[in-house]
Structure 1
Amino acid sequence: MKTDVEELTPTRVKLTVEVPFDELKPNLDRAYKEISKQVRIKGFRPGKVPAPLIDQYVGRGAVLQEAVNDALPELYGRAVEETEIFVLGQPDVEITTLDDGKELAFTAEVDVRPKFEVPDYDDLEVTVEEAAVTDEEIEETLNTLRERFGSLTAADRPAQEGDFVSIDLAAAIDGEAVEDASTTGYSYEVGSGSSVEGLDDALAGMSAGESTTFTSTLVGGERAGEQAEITVTVQSVKVKNLPEADDEFAQLASEFDTIEELRADLRTRLGRNKRMQQIGQARDKALEALLGRVDIPLPDKVVEDEIQRRNEQLEQQLQWSGLTRDAYLANEDKTAEEFDAEIAEAARQAVKGGFLLDQLALDEELGVENEELSEYVVTQAMQMGVQPQQLAQHLTDSGQIPALVSEVLRSKALNLLVEHVKITDEAGNELDLEAIQRELNGETAEAAEAGTETAEEAAETAEATEAAEAEDKAADKAEEAKDKPES
């Protein structure tokens, strides 16, 4: 087999492959056997029809077509392997010569990973946010916790910002009711801005039993984006009472005896969160800085696929939240053109970053061991809340193991890059990310026992586990508090 490579663009090549006809003999034999099972010729059982009769009744051309279709995937794979190109996506294949008994020739145009050199990164410098925790942040977090233990009591007065109202909503366009934009007994926080525009203004000053009508744009349903007359009726007005931030509340909401112990724990948790954010920012900014030093041509099809993937992901999220795309854009205060431009730019940067990390991994001869794949699956499974065996089976069945290997390789390449970057916070303090990772790792007994996790993976797992446990405890105690009879 002979293969020539023609570079059409820096990201697309054309393979011209010539195959001696005798290499197709195994494929021809399989083609005759397969067709023999399908034809019915008197005097011969299925699968036992001789080749000359198949040629006579079915035609040699059909046999050749079956044989070529069977041979092409393997022949294309061999051509790619021999030319040592890194292909992206599926090829456009065209049979150029099929000379029975002599030769098969075909071309295959396919996108390839562009060739470029990774720029020097030893002198890169990035700045991340400080990890200092302020008293205001502690109080804000404490107030959020108090909100979870708050109770609603009826207010014998008009609604104000921050009140919770039970309302009925009805919408009409040109006098015709819009059924999917109407609801009853809807609990809403006045001033939250989480519903149709104009609702907060309409509710301010309304008392239980009162109704009013205003004009707004529908954000959901079949007629989203259209102007409608919306009638709101207030059924009740309630005010939220928060528990005092004292020792009694600390004992109710946590495992601590005093409010100062609870505040100290919140400071520790917030500090951990900020240190984790520093690690994430350092990784993102290091890659961004290196990307700024190199120009990488990008295959249009690969970028288009990434744009489509991001749009599909957004559509799924919108479906789960019950929002339309128009409503989402309205909430984000962006036009469709602006949003599409942002998605396209993010997709280009993601593709470019992937190419850069792939090349860095090749240059540094990084590899992935089975143990590293297992660790990655375990970490992902913990974050997703599923069993590692279940996730591993899903990845195997769906053919995602190569993508998983690529993801782990890119992560290792990014870790290597960050090790060579000077990182300072906004106050000018130089940071040692390895020391931060060891510190976070050291705070987790599970991570220390594991030993095989990277410090970053252990910290991420610990953070997710710790946050989930804290939230579960707070939720359980909040439920217990609500179940207690009022005195």
Structure 2
Amino acid sequence: MKISVRNLEPTKVRLTITVENDELKPYLDKARTDIAKQVNIPGFRKGHVPGKLVEQRFGFGAIAGEAVQDAVPEFYDKAVQEKDLRPMDQPKLDVKDIPDTEDSDTKLKFTAEVEVRPKFDLPELSDLTIEIPAAEVTDDDVNQRLESLRKSYATLASVDRPAAKDDFTNIDLTARIDDEVVDSQEGVSYQLGSGTMLDGMDEALEGLSAGEETTFEGTLEAGEHEGEKAQITVKVNSVKEEQLPELNDEFATEASEYDTLDEFKEQLRKDSAEVAEARQATEARDAFLAKLEGDIEIAVPKGLKEKLTEQNLGAVVADPKKATKEQKQEAEEQAEKQLRDQILLDAITEKLDVKVSQSDVINFLASVAQQYGMDPNQFISSVVRNGQLPGAAQEVARSKGLLAAMRAVTFQHDGEDVDLSKFLGEEEEQVENEAKAEEEASVQAAEAAAAVAAEASDKAEEAKED
């Protein structure tokens, strides 16, 4: 096999691959066998037709065409490995030449255009010292948590006054375009200042009492007339204000297991400290990635960036074509950051020779299933069946690579080392935990594989019956 590589872009290459006849021969033989299993020729049992007879009957072109379908992807994979490339997307394959006989001077020749991970040098991680914010807990942190809990015990009371910010209202809405009613709703609950309804709603409601109404112009945000201007009439049915319980020992008893407010506050301070430590670990992760991405020039594949930008836009607006300039820019910046992170973490994973065990993947998939309230075995079976297992393994590898890299780095605040082992774990501990989880994961993996095998068997039986 001969391979030539041409750089089309910093992250895109074109491989030109020429396959020798003796390398293609096993694929030709397999193609003859496969075709023989599918055809009926008088005098021969199905599946026992000689390969030469198959070629005489259907022509070498049919044999070669079948062989190329299997050969091209496999020779592409070999070429990628030989040239030490890291593809980030599916290749665009184009077959240029196919031999017309088994001994033809014309060789199988094809090209493959693919976006690849750029090459760059990573610094020695153990030499890095990164400054991060302190995990501080202030009185404001405690008071905010206390106020949030207090609001959860609030009650609503009707008031005989105009609506004001933070009040809860019950309203009727009617939208008209050219004097035609295009939408109407009754008994809608809305809190002034929440911003969960039409622009201009807060201004229209503020100052209105129960029984009063007003009309303002607004832009409809859903339905058949989405994006169109309409005259919105809003009528206030009732106004209620939020009444918070007093902060005292009685509230502490009701809201917690503590008898006094001081004891409750102390527990909230401890809870806030744990939150602050977790936030510090997240800030350390972000600072670590920012440090490397700031020091290393990482080119981002254009095609993948466009695809990911489109996906990000689809999560924000129903029709990406209607997205605003700001939304498009934000989606593009997000896509570029996502790709830089992936590229960097893949390089780290490779540099640190991170290994992903069966238990790692199974535990990851089980946690995802739990998040969505799904049965782990059914979810794992679905992942295996849909060919998504390699992607899951890659995500696990990136996560493990990030933790391993952060364990090698020194994090400091004001010149003092910060211990993040609570969140990063210790390498010895990781190995021990993986060993314990491997046996359980093997059982789960076997169950998942059995489920997929059972389904395949059922389908095979159905095919036989048909």
Structure 1 residues 56 and 178 mapped into 2: Cα distance closer, same or farther (>3 Å)? Answer: farther
Report if the CA contact (8 A) 1:160-1:204 is conserved: yes
Alignment of 1:23-172 (within 5 A): 23-35=23-35, 58-99=58-99, 100-101=101-102, 102=104, 103-122=107-126, 124-172=128-176
Q: Is the 8 A contact 1:92 1:108 kept in 2?
A: yes
- Residues 82, 136 of structure 1: alpha-carbon distance in 2 compared, 3 angstrom cutoff: closer
Q: Secondary structure at the match of 2:416?
A: coil
Match of 2:329 in 1: 341
Alignment partner for residue 245 of structure 2, among 243, 246, 253?
Answer: 243
CA contact (8 A) 1:121 1:290 kept: no
Structure 1 counterpart of 2:403, from 401, 404, 415: 415
1:252 deviates by 1.9
Deviation at 1:68, TM superposition (A): 1.6
Q: Percent identity?
A: 39
Distance 1:28 1:271 in 2: 67
CA change 1:131–1:383 in 2 (3 A) is: farther
Deviations 1:39-69 (A, max 9, x none): 6777877667776776566544233222222
Query: How does the TM-score come out when normalised to structure 2?
Result: 0.80
Q: CA deviation at 1:278?
A: 0.3
Q: Distance in 2 between matches of 1:309 and 1:156?
A: 49
1:284 has 2:286 as partner: yes
Are residues 1:258 and 2:260 paired?
yes
User: What are structure 1's unaligned runs of at least 5 residues?
Assistant: 330-335, 442-447, 454-487
- Cα deviation for residue 290 of structure 1 reads 1.2
- Tell me if the contact between 1:27 and 1:71 (Cα under 8 Å) persists in the aligned partners: yes
Q: 1:191-240 CA distances to partner (integer Å, 9 max, x unpaired)?
A: 32221121112112222222211111222223222211001111222222
Q: How far apart are the structure 2 equivalents of 1:52 and 1:432?
A: 73
Structure 1 153/9 Cα, relative in aligned 2: closer, same or farther at 3 Å? closer
Deviation at 1:255, TM superposition (A): 2.1
Mark the CA change 1:45 to 1:383 in structure 2 (over 3 Å): closer, same or farther: closer
The structure-2 alpha-carbon separation of the partners of 1:395 and 1:54, relative to structure 1 and needing over 3 Å to count, comes to: closer
Q: Which amino acid in the other structure matches residue 72 of structure 1?
A: V
Partners in 2 of 1:134 and 1:405 — Cα distance? 41
Provide the C-alpha distance between the structure 2 equivalents of 1:186 and 1:89, rounded to a whole number of angstroms: 48
Quote the Cα distance in structure 2 between the aligned partners of 1:226 and 1:342: 24
Rounded to whole Å, the distance in 2 between the matches of 1:299 and 1:84 is: 17
> Where do residues 424-463 of structure 1 align in structure 2 (5 Å cutoff)?
424-425=412-413, 428=414, 430-434=416-420, 437=423, 452=433
Residue aligned with 1:87, SS: coil
CA shift for structure 1 position 289: 0.9
Whole-Å separation in 2 of the counterparts to 1:41 and 1:409 = 52
CA shift in 2, pair 1:165/1:90, >3 Å: same
Structure 1 residue 342 displacement after superposition: 2.5
Q: 2:296 aligns with which of 294, 298, 305?
A: 294
What is the CA deviation profile of residues 416-443 of structure 1, one whole-angstrom value per residue up to 9, with x for unaligned ones? 4333544344xx36342335549x99xx
CA distance in 2, matches of 1:221, 1:144: 35
Q: Secondary structure at the match of 2:113?
A: strand
The 1-side partners of 2:130 and 2:279 are apart by 14
Cα distance in 1 for residues equivalent to 2:139 and 2:300: 47
Distance 1:325 1:95 in 2: 35
- Residue 465 of structure 1 corresponds to none
Alignment of 1:192-341 (within 5 A): 192-312=194-314, 314-315=315-316, 336-341=324-329
Whichever residue aligns with residue 169 of structure 2, its letter is: V
The 8 Å contact of residues 215 and 230 in structure 1, kept in 2 or not, is answered as: yes
Rounded Cα–Cα distance in structure 2 between residues aligned with 1:60 and 1:372:
48
Query: Any unmatched runs of 5+ in structure 2?
Result: 435-466
Matched residue type, 2:113: E
Distance (whole Å) between structure 1 residues aligned to residue 308 and residue 135 of structure 2 = 34
* Cα offset, 1:377, TM superposition: 4.0
Deviation digits for residues 342-377 of structure 1, max 9, x if unmatched?
322232232222222222232232322334434444
Partner residue in 1 for 2:14:
14
Kept in 2: contact 1:422–1:430 (CA 8 A): no
Q: Check 1:429–1:168 CA distance in 2 against 1; reply closer, same or farther (3 A cut).
A: farther
**1:307–1:325 distance in 2 versus 1, CA, 3 Å:** closer
Secondary structure at the counterpart of residue 177 of structure 1: strand
Structure 1 window deviating more from structure 2 (109-118 vs 384-393): it is 384-393
Structural RMSD (CA): 3.4
Partner of residue 484, structure 1: none
Local SS of the residue matching 2:90: strand
Query: Compared with structure 1, are the counterparts of its residues 396 and 261 closer, same or farther at alpha carbon in structure 2 (3 Å cutoff)?
Result: farther
Cα offsets for 1:51-97 (capped at 9, x unmatched): 67765665442332222223222222233333332222222222222
**Residues 168 and 126 (structure 1 numbering): CA distance in 2 closer, same or farther, change over 3 Å?**
farther
Paired positions, count: 428
